[in-house]
Amino acid sequence: MGIFSRFSDIVNSNINSLLDKAEDPEKMVRLIIQEMEDTLVEVRSSSAKTIAEKKDLQRVVSRLQGEADDWQAKTELALSKDRDDLARAALIEKQKAAEQADALLHDISVLDEHISKLQDEVSQLQEKLADAKARQKSMLMRRTTVENRLEVKKSLDSNRINDAMYKFERYEQKIDSLEAQVESYDLGKKTLKDEFAQLAAQDKIDNELAELKAKVTKKNSKGDA
C-alpha cells in the first residue's frame, strides 16, 4: 500500500509533518514524490480518456442532429406531396434522433464536469509535487552543506595542519641559520666606517696621552727648581 491511499490524502497531506515523523526523511520525500508522480500520470490518463470519450459523443451528437435535420426535410417533402403518412413516419424518426442527441448532450455535460474536476485535481497535484520537490532540493542542499562543513572540521582537527605548521617552523629555522652564516662571514672584517671610527678614537687617545705627558713634564720642572 502506498503512502497515499486516496487522492484526497495527497491534496490534504502535510509534507512537513510526514517528514518530521519519518526515520529517513530523504527516503520518505523520494517515496512521496514518486507516488505523487504516479498519481499525476493516472489522473492525466483518466483525463485523456474522458476527453476522448467526450469527443466521440460529440461526433455522434453531430451525426444525430444531421439525421434529425434530414428527417425534418423529408417530413416537409412528404407534406408537400400530400403524403401525411410518410410525413408522420419521418417526424417520428426525427424525434428519435433528436431525443438520442439530447440524451448524449446530457452525458457530455456530465463529462464536462468530470473533466473540470480532473483538471482541478491535476493542478492541486502539481502544486503538491512542486512543494515536495522543493523540500527535497532543500534537504539535499542542507546535507551537502553539512558534509562540506564536516570535511573542513576533519581537516582542521587532523594532524595535517600541525604537520604544515611544523614544516613552516623548520623552514624559518633554516632561513635563520643561513642568515647567521652570512653574518658570521662579516665578523672580523672592518668596514670603511669602522676604520674612520677607529682613527678618531686613536686621535683622542693620542691627544689625551700628550696632555698627560705635558702635565707630568711641567710638574717635574717645578720640582727641580
- Find all residues with CB under 8 Å of 122, minimum gap 6, and list them: 40, 43, 44, 47
Mean pLDDT of the chain: 79
Does 196 fall in a domain? yes
Contacts 24+ apart (CB under 8 A), 142-147: 143/26
In a domain, 167, yes or no: yes
Shared domain check, 40 and 98: yes
In a domain, 52, yes or no: yes
161-199 tens-digit pLDDT: 666 667 767 777 777 776 666 666 555 556 667 677 777
Total domain count, the chain: 3
- The 10s digit of each residue's pLDDT in 28-50 is 778 878 888 888 888 888 889 99
In a domain, 50, yes or no: yes
Same domain, yes or no: 142 and 212: no
Residue 79 lies in a domain: yes
* Contact by Cβ (8 Å): 123, 43: no
CA distances in angstroms from 39 to 103, 118, 185, 197, listed in the order given: 32, 12, 88, 101
End-to-end CA distance of the chain: 142
| Angle between the N-to-C axes of helices 25-80 and 84-157, in degrees from 0 to 180, rounded to the nearest 10 | 170
Output the nine-digit C-alpha cell for 150. 564536516
Q: What is the DSSP letter of 225?
A: -
* Sign of the dihedral through C-alpha 143, 146, 148, 151: negative
Nine-digit cell at 31? 517515496
- Within a domain: residue 40? yes
Tell me whether residue 110 is in a domain: yes
Same domain, yes or no, for 30 and 16? yes
Query: Per residue in 46-101, pLDDT tens?
Result: 889 999 999 999 999 999 999 999 999 999 999 999 999 999 999 999 999 999 99
Is residue 197 a part of any domain in this protein?
A: yes
User: Do 94 and 182 have their domain in common?
Assistant: no
If one counts every other C-beta atom within 10 angstroms of the C-beta of residue 173, the result is: 10
- pTM for the model: 0.51
Question: What percentage of the chain carries pLDDT values higher than 70?
Answer: 73
Same domain, 75 and 100: yes
The domain of 164 spans 159-189
- Computed from CA positions of residues 219, 220, 224, 225, in that sequence, does the dihedral angle turn out positive or negative? negative
